[in-house]
């Protein structure tokens, strides 16, 4: 992570703290902790919601197979443009828009059916309740029956809501991140 990326992230945070959730991008420790929760190398299609400046995007691309696709949905146009410039990987598609529109994005990209892995960097705790529910409903609708939803949060507050949408929610703290974060693995 370069100093310019940290500055970009911080400036976007100042502009919209509710949508960013943190003043600094995720650490390599948090990326590694979340990536370890899944066998990313077996997924043909991976979706990332809220990639920000791309620390998880980099971690996912490093573990993905050569014929896989990574579809990133970023709401902030400046961050989406940054991702497009930072990653010149043919497996990556960056879309500017809302995570609640994931089903339409998948259809527009010619992705039929449900996806095996969705990774989220969205700050659910700071989003309005109707937006949280809308995104989780969309995720459960787009996720394959045996798929995984991976996310991190800075508070355990989301666990009870996630249990309303997912059969199983596993979590553990990654203390080497600033601020410390809870990594979660959810299955339908």
Kindly report, residue by residue over 73-129, the tens digit of the pLDDT: 999 999 999 999 999 999 999 999 999 999 999 999 999 889 999 999 999 988 999
3-state secondary structure of 68: coil
Give the per-residue pLDDT at 1: 56
Cβ burial 127-163 (10 Å sphere, 16+ → b, else e): beeebbebbbebbbebbeeebbbbbbbbeeebeebbe
The domain containing residue 52 runs over which residues? 3-187
Band of the pLDDT at 178, cuts 50, 70, 90?
confident
Q: Which CATH number fits the domain that encloses residue 35? A: 3.40.50.150
Question: Is there a cis peptide before residue 128, judged by omega within 30 degrees of 0?
Answer: no
Give the per-residue pLDDT at 187: 98
CA 154, distance to chain mean position in Å, is 14
Give the per-residue pLDDT at 50: 95
Candidate from 14-23, 102-111, 136-145 with smallest mean pLDDT: 14-23
pTM above 0.85, yes or no: yes
User: Is the pLDDT assigned to residue 4 strictly greater than 80?
Assistant: no
The sheet with strand 181-187 has its strands ordered as: 92-96, 69-74, 45-49, 115-120, 143-153, 181-187, 168-174
User: Is the pLDDT assigned to residue 20 strictly greater than 50?
Assistant: no
Q: What is the pLDDT of residues 22-69, one digit of tens each?
A: 545 668 899 999 999 998 999 999 999 999 999 999 999 999 999 999
Give the per-residue pLDDT at 108: 96
Give the per-residue pLDDT at 27: 83
What is the number of structural domains in the chain?
1
Give the per-residue pLDDT at 10: 52
């Amino acid at each position: 992570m370069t100093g310019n990326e940290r500055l970009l992230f911080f400036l976007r945070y100042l502009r919209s703290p509710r949508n960013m959730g943190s003043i600094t991008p995720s650490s390599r420790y948090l990326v590694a902790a979340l990536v370890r929760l899944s066998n990313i190398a077996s997924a043909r299609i991976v979706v990332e919601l809220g990639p920000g400046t791309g620390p998880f995007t980099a971690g996912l691309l490093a573990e993905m197979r050569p014929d896989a696709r990574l579809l990133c949905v970023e709401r902030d146009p400046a961050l989406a443009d940054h991702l497009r410039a930072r990653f010149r990987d043919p497996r990556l598609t960056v879309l500017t828009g809302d995570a609640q529109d994931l089903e339409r994005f998948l259809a527009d990209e010619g992705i039929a059916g449900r996806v095996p892995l969705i990774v989220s960097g969205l700050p659910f705790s700071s989003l309005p309740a109707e937006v949280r529910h809308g995104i989780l409903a969309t995720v459960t609708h787009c996720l394959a029956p045996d798929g995984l939803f991976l996310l991190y949060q800075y508070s355990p507050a989301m666990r009870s809501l996630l249990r309303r949408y997912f059969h199983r929610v596993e979590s553990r703290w990654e203390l080497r991140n600033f601020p410390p974060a809870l990594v979660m693995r959810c299955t339908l």
